[in-house]
Structure 1
Amino acid sequence: MTDRPAANRLPFTLPRLGLGTAPLGGLFEEVSEEEAAATLTAATEAGITYFDTAPRYGHGLAEQRLGRLSADPAPVISTKTGWLLRPRPDGSPGEVITDWTERGIRESLEASLTRLGRSAVDILYLHDPDNYPDEIRRTAYPAVRRLREEGLIRAIGFGMNHSGPLAAYVEEFEVDVVLIAGRLSLLDHEALTTLLPLCARTGTAVVVGGVFNTGLLADPAPGAMFNYRPAPAHALERARQCRALCDAYDVPLPAAAIQFPLLHPAVSSVVLGCRSAAEVTANAAAARFPVPDELWQRLARNGFVPEQLLAGRAG
């Protein structure tokens, strides 16, 4: 049985499905202005009202593109801090430097607000602070608390790719929300060991990214990526086994991959990175596709879904 979550710390409700904008910043391949605009429009037409971004996504490009989105009602927006953009003298993108000082945190947020065309954002994540616990303790966390008190952000978060260090921050600080990428998927259950039970006890909302593990669970074909690298043979074979189980129930593999994290009661939202309107439409449909309990049970028997997540479900 999974832990029943404590009262959620967030002062607002996160939509169950969000759009990640790293692809709109040119992750892996460039996306044109027209394609980016069409992607964001398709998201709003699909009813997506949560958008996650960061200054590091295309050296500010993803934030700029998201800032051009006109949507009614205003969407929930999260961005990130801890890294400053330093352009070259000619104005072209330059280096990205880490800066966890109060001045750096505030400068990063102010630049993000300018690119986004907003006076505040809903969530500010401290971005990849794995190796900076002293800096987080001394300056960064106090800084984001002050930003929340000033009304420039509504919630404090940590966004990381590793659940162990993320759990340590949740244990030490009052954290409204965490974003964990790639560690709660049909192929990777790392976040279930410590992070999610802890978040359930503390009322920390959980946003899950990377449910496709960089593409492998979207399409386990030769050449697919797995956690930002070419998929090794064993991961490709496991993904194909998972797809075969889904095919037996006429369920697309992406549907199971997207809906899997939401089986845990601490998970509030799943964020999907999309680079085209077609991807948005397909992923939004997959998020709504009925997944029968019999398939979840079959996936559990084959090690893709931990049994405890299915406690209380018909089967």
Structure 2
Amino acid sequence: MRLGLGCAQLGNLYHEIDDDRARATVDAAWDAGVRYFDTAPHYGLGLSERRLGEALRERRRDQYTISTKVGRLLVGDPSYAGGMDTEGFVVPATHRRVWDFSRDGIRRSLEASLARLGLDRVDVALLHDPEEHAEVALRTGFPALAELREEGLVGAIGAGSKDAAILTRLVTECTPDVVMVAGRFTLLEQPALDTLLPTCAAAGVEVVNVGVFNSGLLAVDDPGADLPYEYGAAPAALVAKARAIAGVCDRHGTTLPAAALAFAAGHPAVTAVVVGADSPEQVRRNAALAIAPPPGSLWPALREAGLL
């Protein structure tokens, strides 16, 4: 399994972490062999990109891969009076996120990301959550990314979304190198299996699977109703299903998060699994799980129980 570090938590997702802990989290990932790091301007209003860039500053540039995203411009808020961000990140709301998939917006977004990261190029650039702006994102945003690829400012291009339908459209109507699918091919639910993953496999488009713990519900051995799902409260039915899966995992000598990671990497179109962490301990745990897959008997047992 190619394991990557999702860096939303470096932007203070859900709760605040300090710079030292953010740096230690990236260092722990590096020590565990992780060489793929995913970030975005959205994550902490640029804080994630700044922290990631600083943590990798002394690393050899040819030894790691960074993906970031475009589509949300960060615009300074002149009316800022000390309030906090309202989109899940514990950071001062000094900037506003403005949707912009125009050619100029894409270029400005990447330029700002490169400055925060301290880089002159990124390896992967993705349209971020384009589902509500599909036409302009596909017809204007993607060609703008293609121009940046031709200019050498980005390597691979594509989109990241939890909407499998818009990613399928991108693959069939454009020429992406990669898609990043969030929470749609997990141990809990697999809507991407219907169309997106087969379409990517046929087109030779790489799939990066993220959100494989469904925002937290699959991240612990014994899930409860207090864990998030899709960045909100988990529905009771899904908590019950996660607990049932966890029970089968336990009977087969493994854990829910170990099974979630292994399943997420199991489709041939998936080339990397990216998992977030907000501490070195979480990184080390996830890395250990990734190299200790569940027994093969788990999967038929889950299917027999109607859970997979």
TM-score, normalised via structure 1 length: 0.89
Asked whether the equivalents of residues 205 and 268 of structure 1 are also in contact (C-alpha less than 8 Å), the reply is yes
Equivalent position of 1:58 in the other structure: 44
Query: Could you say what the CA RMSD is over the residues aligned between the two structures, in angstroms?
Result: 1.5
Report the CA distance between 1:92 and its aligned residue.
Answer: 6.0
Deviates more, 1:90-99 or 1:294-303: 90-99
User: Within 5 Å, which residues of 2 pair with 1:1-315?
Assistant: 16-70=2-56, 71-72=59-60, 74-89=63-78, 93-219=94-220, 220-305=223-308
Instruction: Name stretches of at least 5 consecutive residues in structure 2 with no aligned partner.
Output: 81-91
**For 1:131, what is the secondary structure of its paired residue?**
helix
- Give the number of the structure with larger relative contact order, counting CA–CA contacts within 8 Å between residues 6 or more apart: 1
Q: 1:28, 1:99 → 2: CA distance?
A: 25
> Which deviations, in whole Å up to 9, do the C-alpha atoms of 1:132-168 show, x marking residues without a partner?
2321244211111110000001111110011012111
Aligned residue pairs total 291
Q: 1:92, 1:263 → 2: CA distance?
A: 39
**For 2:63, what is the secondary structure of its paired residue?**
coil
For 1:88, the aligned partner's letter is: D
Q: 1:181, 1:110 → 2: CA distance?
A: 25
Report the CA distance between 1:176 and its aligned residue.
Answer: 0.5
Q: 1:304, 1:109 → 2: CA distance?
A: 42
Q: 1:99, 1:196 → 2: CA distance?
A: 28
Deviates more, 1:245-254 or 1:134-143: 134-143
For 2:68, the aligned partner's letter is: T
Asked whether the equivalents of residues 142 and 158 of structure 2 are also in contact (C-alpha less than 8 Å), the reply is no
TM-score, normalised via structure 2 length: 0.91
Report the CA distance between 1:204 and its aligned residue.
Answer: 0.5
Asked whether the equivalents of residues 252 and 286 of structure 1 are also in contact (C-alpha less than 8 Å), the reply is no
Deviates more, 1:127-136 or 1:262-271: 127-136
Asked whether the equivalents of residues 208 and 261 of structure 1 are also in contact (C-alpha less than 8 Å), the reply is yes
Deviates more, 1:214-223 or 1:103-112: 214-223
Report the CA distance between 1:302 and its aligned residue.
Answer: 2.5
Q: 1:56 to 1:19 in 2, by over 3 A?
A: same
Q: 1:65, 1:53 → 2: CA distance?
A: 10
Identical aligned residues as a percent: 47
Instruction: Name stretches of at least 5 consecutive residues in structure 1 with no aligned partner.
Output: 1-14, 306-315
For 1:66, the aligned partner's letter is: L
